[in-house]
Amino acid sequence: MTEPRIRRRRDDDMESCVEALATVYEADRYPVAWPADPAGWLTPGGLLGAWVAVDGPRVLGHVALTRTGDALAARIGRPAAELAAVSRLFATATARRRGVARALLAAAARAAAGDGLRPVLEVEDGGRAAVALYERSGWRRVGSRPGDWTTPDGRTALLHTYTAPPAVTA
């Protein structure tokens, strides 16, 4: 199996990114509700960078790195200015277990660390593959809290907060 190729997202990737996201929504209900503006959803406020995994012109996966909100920073116990949040991470339904997300996560974490920022993230409890990925990648759970929505299986969302391992912090 060849290593996935990771590069910075370009404007002309957006159509393929949205197509890729549609496969993830179909398979996993991620995001929970299909956004009215999927390209906008892939470009959240405070964006520091975005990366794609590609196979030729096809996008196999995506990750974004953003500024961290004050509430998340408070949960971590560090100033928001020292943190960067990993978000919008997915691998297309047909490109799973090939190391796509592991490589994307590493790229985002490296970029954060390169800017002197500590990578953090939140994941919903039902995202079992994502939780396994983060724990396998050495990320540490530092807290949990209820979310303000109901999951597709009828639970109140439960969000876990993770910080990156020291190897990828500044």
In the complex, the residues that contact ligand COA under the rule CB under 6 A are 24, 28, 30, 61, 89-91, 96-102, 123, 127, 129-130, 132-133, 136
Instruction: Give min distance, CB of 140 to ligand COA, in A.
Output: 15
Q: Which is nearer to ligand COA, 79 or 140 (CB)?
A: 140
**E strand or H helix that includes residue 6:** strand 5-8
Query: What would the DSSP string read from start to end of 98-158?
Result: SSHHHHHHHHHHHHHHHTT-EEEEEEETT-HHHHHHHHHTT-EEEEEEEEEEE-TTSPEEE
Q: Which is nearer to ligand COA, 51 or 90 (CB)?
A: 90
Q: Which is nearer to ligand COA, 84 or 130 (CB)?
A: 130
Instruction: Give min distance, CB of 134 to ligand COA, in A.
Output: 8
Angle at 100 between CA 15 and CA 146, to 5 degrees: 85
Q: Which is nearer to ligand COA, 14 or 21 (CB)?
A: 21
Q: Among 36, 43, 81, which residue's Cα sits nearest to residue 65?
A: 43
Bridge partners (DSSP) of residue 140 are: 163
Instruction: Give min distance, CB of 93 to ligand COA, in A.
Output: 8
Instruction: Give min distance, CB of 98 to ligand COA, in A.
Output: 5
